[in-house]
Amino acid sequence: MRSHFGIVAVHLSLVLAVAGSALPSAARAAEPDGARPATVAGYGHAATPPPAQPVALRVRLWAYHIGQVDLHEGTCAFDGALELSWPPGTGPREGDPRPFEIMNAVDARIEDYGGIVVSGRFVQVYRVHASLRVDVDLERYPFDTQTLELQLEHPLWTIDQLSYAAESQVDPTLDLRRDRVGADVRLRDWQIEAVRDGVSEMVYAADQHFGRYTFTVEVRRSLLPFLVGELAPIVLMVLIGLAATFLPAKALDAKLLLTVLALLVAVELQAAGADHMPHAGYLLLSDWLYVLSYLSIGLAVVHAIAEHRFFLVDRFAAAKRVRWGGFVLAAAVFFIPLTVMMVARA
């Protein structure tokens, strides 16, 4: 009897679980495609009534730290302060949801520091710690520039109910790099090229237009790590493969030892380098670097064998032509395309 009750209980729990899981999916199915939901997870607010008058928020953002640019995950770390201000009596009301959400945050921790009235405006300050998504573009690697952005939108109110004003719009003479990004902000392997902010309009459905504020930091990759860590080792392997040309034609064993060793080390270098770069879906310059090195070293192996065969049958003139012709071809296959590709990306 007890076992039968157990079976019934299990069946009943399964029925309840299926019924419960069906309810949210039905609710989601009722939402129009592309529309933003009427509630926002993490805010604890239903769709609040819009303000009686349009709200215009002036935005200031200070970046205290930007780091951990992870190209594999497509993220970066941000730590800073966000200041929103508006004329007293015209801004968000008590009980309204926080007047922004970070649209490109993977994870965020926001601390409310409260607000005061300064120079006739109510100023609300937040401390922001966030991991932000980065749209990684490696087409021009290693001369690539990445765009790190922090994007703000109101979770519920459309652009005719709430809009943002970027600080650079209020004061076009402001130097955001100097005044809003700390002088001690440094990114390993990256150099800050430009800092800007701006506002735009995002359209999610035919009648859903939201205002967006974007704070942008453009960073350019430092070239030295690529030159020292990737280019120099593989160029050295190619030169070792080419050095076999200068050994006597009869020393085939030594020639093959040098070239095959260089080829194996090149393969190991590529395997090690793959851990440092994300899968881009297209060939990077580093990929072409290894492909060209394989061709060059492979040609060095072929012309070493061909030279040795001519040497064995006493065709010394032909062996000499193969030696130097193969040397020029193996060097050209690597250095000419590599130079062209690097110049095109620079």
pLDDT score recorded for residue 184:
81
Q: Give the pLDDT confidence of 196-238 residue by residue, as tens digits.
A: 999 999 998 777 899 999 999 999 999 998 899 889 999 999 9
CA distance 99 to 243: 67
| Torsion sign over Cα 280, 285, 286, 291 | positive
The DSSP line for 54-94 is -EEEEEEEEEEEEEEEETTTTEEEEEEEEEEEE-TTSSPPT
Per-residue pLDDT of 182-196, as tens digits, reads 778 888 889 999 999
Q: What integer pLDDT is reported at residue 31 of this predicted model?
A: 42
Residue 8 has pLDDT above 80, yes or no: no
Superfamily grouping for domain 225-345: Neurotransmitter-gated ion-channel transmembrane domain (1.20.58.390)
Fold category of 55-221 in CATH: Acetylcholine Binding Protein; Chain: A, (2.70.170)
Give the closest residue to 267 by CA, choosing from 242, 234, 245, 300: 234
3-state helix, strand, coil in the chain (%, to 5): 40, 30, 30
Domain boundaries, the chain: 1-30, 55-221, 225-345
Question: What is the mean pLDDT of the segment spanning 285-291?
Answer: 91
pLDDT band at 65 (very low <50, low <70, confident <90, very high): very high
